Amino acid sequence: MSVDVRSLGKVAVLMGGRSGERDISLMSGRGVLEALRSRGVDAHAFDPAERSLDALKSEGFARCFIALHGRFGEDGTVQGALELLGIPYTGSGVMASSLAIDKVMTKRLWLAEGLSTPRYVLLQRGRYQAGDLDAAVASLGLPLIVKPAREGSSLGLTKVGRAQDMAAAVERAAALDADVLCEQFIAGDELTCPVLGSGDAARALPLIRIVAPEGNYDYQNKYFTDAVQYLVPSGLSAVREQAISDLVLAAYRSLGCRGWARADAMVDAATGQPYLLEMNTSPGMTGHSLVPMSARAAGLSYEDLCLQVLSLARLDHEEAR
C-alpha cells in the first residue's frame, strides 16, 4: 500500500516505559525510529517514563507509534491517555489492549467464542494454599506451565515437570502479578502468526515455526542468542497453515484488535489440534523479533512494515463512527 508520508505529520515513537520489558521496548523503539526516519517521517523518540504525556500535545505530535511492551504501554493505559489527548496511535484500542494483556480474560473470551486454548487454573497471590497447587496439577497434568497473567516476553514463566516444584514456580510468577495462570502444557510445534489491518481487511502474515533448544523459548533465547531456529515457510501443509491462520484471525477479531498484533499458538503433536496461547497487541520490533521476519517472507521490508503500521494509527472514537 502507498503511504503519503507528509500526511502523517510529527510522529512520536513511544519506547521504554516502566514495565519489566523496558529494555526490549527501547530496542524495538530505536529500530522503528530509524526505519520511519529512513522513509522521510518526522519521527522522534519519546519515553513516557522520563516525560509527561502532556508534552505530546504541547509539542504538536500528530500521531504515536507505540513501541512500548507490557504494562503501562500495552495494557490500555497509554491508549486511554492518548484517547483523552486526541492523538491517534498504532495498534489496538483501550478495551482490546486491556483484554489481550490479561491472559486469563483472553482465555475466557476465546472459550466463550469456541476458540481452542489450553485448559487452565487461576491462582491468586496470597489466596492459594498447598491443596490448590495439588488440585492444579491433578486438573492439568504434568508438565504444566506457570506464568503471570499480565506479563510478556516469558517473564516469570516456568515449565513445571514435578509436583514438588509447583510452589516455587507459583511464587516466581506471583512476584510479578497478583494473578497466576497455570496452563495445560501442549507438546508439539510452537508457532506465531502476525496480523495486519482491522476488521474484514485484517490479514494474517506467514506463520513462523519456532524451534528452540530443548523447547526452551525463554527471555534469553528470544532476544539475546542465535540458538533458536525460525522456520518461515513453516513447513506445515498449506491446508494446516490456512486453518491456523483462520483461527488466529478469529481470535484477533474476537478481542476487537486493530492495526496489528501477533498471536502465539501451539499445535498438539499427537492430534494436530492448534491451541491459542496469547495475543500480543504491541509486538516486538527488535533484530530477533518475529513480525518483521514474517513480513519479510511476505515481501514487506522492516521499513515498509513500520510505515504501514503507522498509517493505520487511529482513535477508538474514530472507529466507532
107 and 230 belong to one structural domain: yes
253 and 307 belong to one structural domain: yes
255 and 108 belong to one structural domain: yes
Q: How far is CA 279 from CA 3, 106, 246, 252, in A?
A: 27, 8, 14, 7
Expressed as residue numbers, the domain containing 288 is: 99-117+186-311
Which entry of 47, 264, 303, 316 is annotated as an active-site residue? 264
215 and 269 belong to one structural domain: yes
207 and 158 belong to one structural domain: no
- Residue pair 173/165 in contact by the 8 Å Cβ criterion: no
Which of the listed residues 184, 210, 225 is the one where a domain comes to its end? 184
Residues in Cβ contact with 230 at an 8 Å cutoff, skipping those fewer than 6 apart: 208, 209, 210, 211, 290, 293
246 and 108 belong to one structural domain: yes
- Residue pair 133/142 in contact by the 8 Å Cβ criterion: no
Q: Is 216 within the bounds of a domain? A: yes
Which entry of 16, 31, 70, 284 is annotated as an active-site residue? 284
Report, as an integer, the average pLDDT of 43-48. Answer: 98
195 and 171 belong to one structural domain: no
Model pLDDT for residues 122-172, shown as the tens digit of each residue: 999 999 999 999 999 999 999 999 999 998 768 899 999 999 999 999 999
The reply to whether 284 belongs to the active site is: yes
The reply to whether 34 belongs to the active site is: no
C-alpha cell at 301: 521490508
If we measure between CA atoms, which residue out of 46, 44, 45, 48 comes closest to residue 19? 48
- Residue pair 278/103 in contact by the 8 Å Cβ criterion: yes
Model pLDDT for residues 194-212, shown as the tens digit of each residue: 999 999 999 999 999 999 8
- Residue pair 68/74 in contact by the 8 Å Cβ criterion: yes
Q: Quick one: pLDDT band at residue 256, thresholds 50, 70, 90? A: very high
Average pLDDT for the chain: 94
The reply to whether 280 belongs to the active site is: yes
Check: pTM over 0.85? Answer yes or no: yes
Model pLDDT for residues 230-239, shown as the tens digit of each residue: 999 999 999 9
Q: Give the pLDDT of residue 319.
A: 66
180 and 37 belong to one structural domain: no
Which entry of 21, 83, 190, 303 is annotated as an active-site residue? 21
Q: Is 320 within the bounds of a domain? A: no
The reply to whether 234 belongs to the active site is: no
Which entry of 223, 252, 275, 302 is annotated as an active-site residue? 223
The reply to whether 153 belongs to the active site is: yes
Domain tally for the chain? 3
233 and 304 belong to one structural domain: yes
Q: What are the E-state strand segments in 2-111? A: 10-14, 42-46, 63-66
The reply to whether 262 belongs to the active site is: yes
Using the predicted structure, report yes or no on whether residue 321 has a pLDDT greater than 60: no
- Residue pair 302/33 in contact by the 8 Å Cβ criterion: no
